């Protein structure tokens, strides 16, 4: 949700809070597929053109090669929606 809504502060807070926890049972899975569209947060951010969140998720370990059930990656999603800045950000990670 934070990736879709372009909430950089919320995304940062979620990643920081849960991934810095000493409790191993509490962890944010940055590559989890959402049930609604079967996309990862990285794919969702790329589709909506949220380049700062794309960079943040990649820095947090998001897999840029993770595929949807239809074999799309974040790069393919960004291209499909014409999100040029996200395409450049993702290509810089290859």
Which pLDDT score, from 0 to 100, does residue 48 have?
Answer: 93
Q: Is 83 exposed, middle or buried (0-12, 13-18, 19+ CB in 10 A)?
A: buried
Which pLDDT score, from 0 to 100, does residue 39 have?
Answer: 86
Question: For residues 48 and 75, is the Cβ–Cβ distance under 8 A?
Answer: no
Q: What is the pLDDT of residues 42-52, one digit of tens each?
A: 999 999 999 99
Which pLDDT score, from 0 to 100, does residue 85 have?
Answer: 96
Structure token pair of residue 23: 């409790």
Cα 30 to Cα 45, 84, 90, distances in angstroms = 12, 22, 16
Domains of the chain plus CATH, in order, are 8-91 (1.25.40.20)
Per-residue pLDDT of the chain (94 residues; tens, 9 = 90+): 555 565 666 776 666 755 555 555 545 577 777 666 678 889 999 999 999 999 989 988 899 999 988 899 999 999 999 999 999 999 997 6
* Residues 6 or more apart whose Cβ sits within 8 Å of residue 69: 38
Which pLDDT score, from 0 to 100, does residue 77 have?
Answer: 95
């Amino acid at each position: 949700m934070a990736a879709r809504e372009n909430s950089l502060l919320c995304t940062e807070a979620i990643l920081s809070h849960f991934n810095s926890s000493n409790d191993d049972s509490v962890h944010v899975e940055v590559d989890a597929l959402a049930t609604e569209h079967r996309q990862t947060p990285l794919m969702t951010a790329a589709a909506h053109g949220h380049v700062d969140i794309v960079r943040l998720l990649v820095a947090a370990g998001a897999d840029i090669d993770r595929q949807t059930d239809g074999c799309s990656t974040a790069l393919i999603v960004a291209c499909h929606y014409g999100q040029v800045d996200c395409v450049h950000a993702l290509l810089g990670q290859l």
